[in-house]
Chains A and B, each alone.
Chain A
Amino acid sequence: MNVLDDINIPVDPSGALSGETGNALILLQEIAHAMRHLLETGESRTLDLLAIPFGPTDEDRLLSELGQGEVSATLNALGESRVWESRYSGVWVVEHRNLDGQRVAFQIEITRMPEILCAHSADIESGLKRLNETLITGRQGFTSENPQEEP
């Protein structure tokens, strides 16, 4: 990939080749609609950006319109994921990459909290199991060194 990255691609500085489809504006309208829906019904919506026919500059345009809000998070689960709240509260950008760093999903979620950030019961259960094991092992270690403290 490095070799490919080294190939110099001249960019037309005039910006004439904008390749903008107007899809960014349509998406912003859709997002506003989904925000109203969230407020009225509590229902979340997700827009799949990989399914939108973006021109070369549409994505940048959309992301710069959305900007960066108060919250951002990085996850490490089957590769890195980045989640950030836009400057419009309740509008989140979720980008998933695989273990090779390639983007496999790119979505706008209109929700109070993206599902991927929540701790899931199965993971809490397995966490509790591991913590219990640690406590038992710890207690054994503790017992041998400080027998007087064991009831």
Chain B
Amino acid sequence: MTDNSSTLGESLRRQGVTRRGFLKFCTATASMLALPAGMAPAVAAALEKARRPSVIWLSFQECTGCTESLTRSHAPTVENLLFDYISLDYHHTLQAASGAAAEAAREKAMHDNAGKYLLVVDGSIPLGHPGYSTIAGISNLQMLQETAAGAAAVIAVGTCAAFGGLPKAAPNPTGAVSVSDIITDKPIINVSGCPPIPSVITGVLAHYLTFDTLPELDQYGRPMAFFGTSIHDRCYRRPFYDKGLFAETFDDEGARKGWCLYKLGCKGPMAYNACATMKWNQGTSWPVESGHGCLGCSEPSFWDAGGFYKALSIPTGDISRTVGIAGAAGLAIGAAAVGLNRAAKSRAKQQHGTVTVDDLEKTS
């Protein structure tokens, strides 16, 4: 068990971090939280007084991709954020203890921090048979229920925990369900994605550290700051979509010129995630920038959404006709799309008036 009594400010000063270093940390944190850039001093004032929360992390039916994503995060000194500024009291992939000692650590953390600890869950929960997935002989369902009982809030990390994900894909052989299908009496934050963007996972933890509250959530329980805008609305290929210029294959002229990937099955228009701005691999790139459409991995049932390479929104399956019309009437449709985009943006703005890029975009 770690010492949870000192504030983040005290802990940083003890480590010899200067105000400049602290301000830099807060600037990076504000950026990660998608707060207006000028809010770094407010973040600094809040983080100065933040105390380390105890975190219990449970992994159920999952592939460990979410933990992999997180531990490769480049978010502001995330190693510190995770291992110094939160007290990660149980994570059976990362912790050294195993077996009875690990379970004892979980029970101790639950007891010592009753009502105050954060519960992070990755993976879905099989209801088909308790034996499908167990930890130390305890079924996933039982472990979730008993650990959630004393939690302040639950963070469902990854599409499996948030919506059932791959294990729930038809025919759902294990009867997989999401955390919110089981836990109904606690605040739940869904951080979806397969895996989620690492900075989004740490961003939610940082939000809790900074403000001691949960972030504003969308209809699927996802933080608005990261999931408030569609991939399509932030996609740099959008001007091509608006002009009706589409890649038809992965190696044609359109693909080489970086045209829109809609016809190749891009799910950007229905996917809400932060990939287009936060990007992946230390901000190197993101799927659409590397030439592949978005799979919509942050959305419920994305595995069963009709095929990764099938174009969206054509219930009849007649892709060429719809896109052909878009191409022919490119300008008009483009203008309409921009109009829709504006409406969506102003909606997003009303819902969370803190996102700076919307303020910037309104000048466009």
Contacts and interface: CB of A to CB of B under 8 A. Distances in A.
A96 B258 contact: no
Interface string B337-364: 0000000000000000001110011011
B360 A47 contact: yes
28 contacts: A22-B239, A26-B363, A27-B360, A29-B363, A44-B38, A45-B38, A46-B36, A46-B37, A51-B355, A53-B276, A53-B357, A55-B236, A56-B289, A75-B24, A77-B17, A96-B24, A96-B28, A98-B77, A99-B77, A103-B283, A105-B28, A107-B27, A107-B31, A107-B37, A116-B23, A120-B18, A120-B20, A123-B18
A103 B279 CA distance: 12
Contact of B239 (A21, A52, A77): A21
Interface in A43-85: 44-48, 50-56, 58, 75, 77-79, 81
Candidate in A27, A50, A78, A116 with the most chain B CB atoms within 10 angstroms: A78
Candidate in A55, A56, A98, A103 with the most chain B CB atoms within 10 angstroms: A98
Interface of B: 17-21, 23-25, 27-28, 30-32, 34, 36-38, 40-41, 74-77, 234-239, 256-258, 276-278, 282-283, 285, 289, 355-357, 360-361, 363-364
Contacts of B37: 46-48, 51, 107
Contacts of A30: 360, 363
Contacts of B234: 53
Contacts of B282: 102-103
Q: Which bracket fits the contact residues of A?
A: 35 or more
Given A17-B258, A99-B77, 7 more contacts: A26-B361, A77-B17, A77-B24, A103-B283, A107-B31, A116-B24, A120-B20
Contacts of B236: 19, 21, 23, 53-56, 58
A12 interface: yes
Interface of A: 12, 16-19, 21-23, 26-27, 29-30, 33, 44-48, 50-56, 58, 75, 77-79, 81, 94, 96, 98-100, 102-107, 115-116, 120-123
Nearest to B23: A116
A139 B338 CA distance: 73
A33 B258 CA distance: 32
Contacts of A78: 17, 21, 24-25, 77
B28 A51 contact: no
A10 B106 CA distance: 51
Given A48-B37, A51-B31, A105-B24, A123 B74 contact: no
Contact of A52 (B27, B77, B237, B357): B357
A116 B25 CA distance: 11
A65 to B, nearest CB: 16
A56 B25 CA distance: 27
Contacts of A81: 24
Nearest to B16: A126
B256 A16 contact: yes
Contacts of B31: 48, 50-51, 104-107
A122 to B, nearest CB: 5
Contacts of A19: 236-237, 258, 289
A8 to B, nearest CB: 16
A104 B28 contact: yes
A104 B21 CA distance: 13
- List the 8 shortest-distance A-B pairs measured between CB atoms, nearest first: A55-B236, A46-B37, A120-B19, A77-B21, A104-B28, A102-B74, A48-B37, A53-B234
A50 B277 contact: yes
Given A16-B256, A29-B363, A53 B235 contact: yes
A33 B18 CA distance: 33
